[in-house]
Amino acid sequence: MEKYDSFKENLKKGAEKFLNIPKKETIRIIGHLDADGICASSIIINALTKLNRKYTLTILPTITDESLEQLKSENEKYFVFVDLGSGSLDSIGRILSEKNIFILDHHHPQSTTIYNNITQINPHLFNIDGSDEISGAGVVFLFTQELVDNSEMSRIAIVGAIGDIQENNGFKKLNSEILNIAINKRLIEVKKGLKFFGVQTKPIHKLLQYSSEIIIPDVTGSESGAIKFLQQIGINPQTKKGWKKISELTDDEKKRLIAAIVMKSNNSKPEDIFTNNYLLIGEKEDSPFRDAKEFATLLNSCGRLNKASIGIGACLNDPKMKKMAIENLTQYRREIVNALNWYKDNEHSDKIFRKKNILIINAEEEVLPTMIGTLGSILSKSQDIEKNTFILSLARNYDNTTKVSLRISGKPENINLKDVIQKIIEESGNGSSGGHAFASGAVISTDYEERFIESALKVLSEFNFELINDSIKEDMNNKTVINEQL
Ligand SMILES: [Mn+2]
């Protein structure tokens, strides 16, 4: 049987099993705290509501033994992990051995061990690459379609895939099947547009100024340059009400803008300038819910500020929650500024340690644990940090654990940050890791901070960058754009 048929067969079987859960049981959903995880959670909630099932939901940044011990002590017997779980398969199998578990995930399974109490639905088990063919939200969507008609959530599955950076000039097989459902149901329309982030919501001159994709000499990075550029091509950057957005241009003005960008930018290929925009039908032109990319960013910011429930409400199309999600974005931007200010103020204190190729930041309680990865990502792209510098940052959670994140500047090839952090964990003897090649993280016990930092210094000092090919991978560069362009 073809691998896709086998996967779908598996979805069907899993769904049959799921429907056998007695109606009186409350289903415990555990979702991942990122845009994809929030989408995945809302998709299953939508289906369970239709099926008249009772559920409770918890959103976790990562699975730890402590969180599993907590779940073990709870009364519920039926658990569904969405967009996480496979990476902790053995811990779940060991600690939750008395529970009935469903794992709907697209991350690499930790092992090939079969647990009788675990039904795992994961494309990797069928040789389908979950890193770019389907997201957690996509897996959950296809699963729920076997339970009940949940097709209105296809648009949210696309937001999830975009949140996990699975779009690259279109989608691959399974994601594109889901997109077709959304297009046929008139939920999403795909339009070619300029490769700017925030096309729907930001003024044109700001798009030009802050673009990291379309580079125009004297315009990119300069507000006055961007304004002048618009004036030179006969576009007044202002309206009576304020700064003009792309949606306010006439067709003729749009053509002139595109022609001028094509002529003056440093990008030679059209695919460097244009991108697919996935637009949610029914959302207003200037709404952050209109473009799936902006929607995903909004969900990320909800997760980072521990307000995943607002994001879930937004995915379920609750108008009040959608309004709160937008307000949350303002708060999120403020937190980014706070984190950067803390860094600047403490650059020369003993909380920040710098040596060649290594920057270690221990923010302790000064930066939100959910923001520490964002701080690392922003620093990894900053001019002040030398190329090939590992940025290891730590901030404390409230439960005597510490969140660690690892980034690297200059995006060298052949370095997998998930492997690197795993090595540090093994060296220090404490913690569990997550993430991927270009952004990884861990949760450790706060008592181990010092030992972890020592181990990190040992592991990170062993890298010889002269031997590492540092040519920049185009797609890797694109992957971080979404979260940080705020
Ligand atoms: Mn995911």
How far is Cα 168 from Cα 233, in angstroms, rounded to an integer? Answer: 31
- Please state, for a pLDDT cut of 70, what percent of the chain lies above it: 95
Confidence of residue 433 (pLDDT cuts 50, 70, 90): confident
Q: Which residue has the tokens 């976790």?
A: 60
What is residue 460's predicted lDDT score, i.e. its pLDDT? Answer: 94
Which range is most confident: 160-164, 239-243, 302-306?
A: 160-164
Is 135's pLDDT higher than 50? yes
For residue 372, the CA-to-ligand 1 centroid distance in Å is: 19
How far is Cα 435 from Cα 147, in angstroms, rounded to an integer? Answer: 30
Residue 184 amino acid letter: N
Tell me how crowded residue 323 is: count the other CB atoms within 10 A of its CB: 13
Mean pLDDT confidence for 325-339: 90
How far is Cα 56 from Cα 27, in angstroms, rounded to an integer? Answer: 6
Beta 352-355 vs 274-280: how paired, if at all? unpaired
Instruction: Give the list of residues 6+ apart from residue 406 with CB closer than 8 angstroms, or none.
Output: 376, 390, 391, 392, 417, 420, 421, 435, 439, 440, 441, 442
Is 473's pLDDT higher than 60? no
Helix (H) or strand (E) holding 380: helix 372-380
Instruction: Give the list of residues 6+ apart from residue 484 with CB closer than 8 angstroms, or none.
Output: 374, 377, 378, 381
What is residue 185's predicted lDDT score, i.e. its pLDDT? Answer: 97
Question: Would you state the torsion angle of the CA atoms of residues 96, 101, 104, 106, taken in this order, to the nearest 10 degrees?
Answer: 30
What is residue 420's predicted lDDT score, i.e. its pLDDT? Answer: 95
For residue 292, the CA-to-ligand 1 centroid distance in Å is: 15
What is residue 79's predicted lDDT score, i.e. its pLDDT? Answer: 98
The tens digit of pLDDT for each residue in 228-282 reads 999 999 999 998 889 999 888 898 998 899 888 888 887 667 777 888 999 999 9
For residue 18, the CA-to-ligand 1 centroid distance in Å is: 22
* The CATH fold of domain 3-187: inorganic pyrophosphatase (n-terminal core) (3.90.1640)
For residue 156, the CA-to-ligand 1 centroid distance in Å is: 13
Task: For helices 417-428 and 449-461, give the axis angle rounded to 10 degrees.
Answer: 130
The tens digit of pLDDT for each residue in 382-432 reads 878 888 999 999 999 988 899 999 999 887 778 889 899 999 999 999 998
Which range is most confident: 108-122, 185-199, 461-475?
A: 108-122
For residue 106, the CA-to-ligand 1 centroid distance in Å is: 7
Is 47's pLDDT higher than 70? yes
Is 85's pLDDT higher than 90? yes
Confidence of residue 467 (pLDDT cuts 50, 70, 90): low
Among the residue ranges 117-121, 189-193, 435-439, 443-447, the one predicted with the least confidence is 435-439
User: Structural domain boundaries of the chain?
Assistant: 3-187, 192-336, 347-484
For residue 206, the CA-to-ligand 1 centroid distance in Å is: 30
For residue 41, the CA-to-ligand 1 centroid distance in Å is: 11
What is residue 215's predicted lDDT score, i.e. its pLDDT? Answer: 82
Is 478's pLDDT higher than 60? no
Confidence of residue 465 (pLDDT cuts 50, 70, 90): confident
For residue 334, the CA-to-ligand 1 centroid distance in Å is: 26
What is residue 1's predicted lDDT score, i.e. its pLDDT? Answer: 65
pTM comes to 0.81
For residue 478, the CA-to-ligand 1 centroid distance in Å is: 17
Confidence of residue 15 (pLDDT cuts 50, 70, 90): very high
Confidence of residue 468 (pLDDT cuts 50, 70, 90): low
Is 485's pLDDT higher than 80? no
For residue 163, the CA-to-ligand 1 centroid distance in Å is: 8
Residue 424 amino acid letter: I
How far is Cα 334 from Cα 330, in angstroms, rounded to an integer? Answer: 6
For residue 135, the CA-to-ligand 1 centroid distance in Å is: 5
Q: What share of the chain is helix, strand, coil (3-state, %, to 5)?
A: 45, 15, 35
The tens digit of pLDDT for each residue in 367-379 reads 999 889 989 988 9
The listed CATH number (1.10.10.10, 3.10.310.40, 1.25.40.340, 3.30.420.40) that belongs to domain 347-484: 3.10.310.40
Question: Would you state the torsion angle of the CA atoms of residues 404, 409, 415, 421, taken in this order, to the nearest 10 degrees?
Answer: -10
Residue 192 vs residues 2, 169, 187, 285, 377: alpha-carbon distances, Å: 33, 10, 17, 15, 28
Among the residue ranges 87-101, 324-338, 442-456, the one predicted with the least confidence is 324-338
Which segments of 51-185 does DSSP mark as H helices, in order? 65-72, 89-95, 136-145, 154-163, 173-184
Mean pLDDT confidence for 57-69: 92
For residue 136, the CA-to-ligand 1 centroid distance in Å is: 5
What is residue 435's predicted lDDT score, i.e. its pLDDT? Answer: 76
Mean pLDDT confidence for 335-347: 92
For residue 36, the CA-to-ligand 1 centroid distance in Å is: 5
CA–CA–CA angle 5, 9, 12 (5° rounding): 140
Tell me how crowded residue 6 is: count the other CB atoms within 10 A of its CB: 14
For residue 113, the CA-to-ligand 1 centroid distance in Å is: 22
What is residue 142's predicted lDDT score, i.e. its pLDDT? Answer: 98
Is 286's pLDDT higher than 90? no
What is residue 28's predicted lDDT score, i.e. its pLDDT? Answer: 97
**Tokens at 183, concatenated:** 């297009």
Is 321's pLDDT higher than 80? yes
- 347-484 and 3-187 share a CATH fold: no
Confidence of residue 165 (pLDDT cuts 50, 70, 90): confident
Confidence of residue 83 (pLDDT cuts 50, 70, 90): very high
Q: How many residues does the chain have?
A: 486
How far is Cα 32 from Cα 136, in angstroms, rounded to an integer? Answer: 9
For residue 345, the CA-to-ligand 1 centroid distance in Å is: 35
**Protein residues with C-beta less than 5 angstroms from the ion ligand 1:** 36, 83, 136, 164
For residue 103, the CA-to-ligand 1 centroid distance in Å is: 13
Is 174's pLDDT higher than 70? yes
What is residue 474's predicted lDDT score, i.e. its pLDDT? Answer: 37
Confidence of residue 483 (pLDDT cuts 50, 70, 90): very low
How far is Cα 271 from Cα 88, in angstroms, rounded to an integer? Answer: 38
DSSP assigned state of 462: T
What is residue 477's predicted lDDT score, i.e. its pLDDT? Answer: 39
